[in-house]
Amino acid sequence: MKSDGPGTRLKVTLRSSYSMASFMTVWLGFVLLFNLFFVIAAFTSRVQLGDLLVPLVLFVFGLGFVAIGRLIALGDSDALLDFIRTALGALDVPMGMEPPV
């Protein structure tokens, strides 16, 4: 919050938790390295390209996990902003009074 003319500007950032972002980074990084190992093995030995199915499914699962989480949270920003407005008794800035960006 910071004073801004006749009112107070409230800046809110909506994002995933640090632990979730860290977990997904580690998960997708591990699976990417795992896939890289299998691709190299497939071209240098008797491993078949069909063996890439499991690591590929793990990677797609990780991306799908993030996508589904974002899909579920689509309406959360409006609900959270309404809660903040109610809790603080805040009003939207009237037309013509917006500070320059």
Interval 4-45: pLDDT, tens: 666 677 776 767 778 888 888 898 888 888 878 877 877 787
Q: What is the pLDDT of residue 6?
A: 66
- Whether 93 has a pLDDT exceeding 70, the answer reads no
| Sequence-ordered list of residues with C-beta below 8 angstroms from that of 10, at least 6 positions apart, any chain | 1, 84, 88, 90
11-20, 57-66, 78-87: which is most confident = 57-66
Please give the DSSP secondary-structure letter assigned to residue 7: E
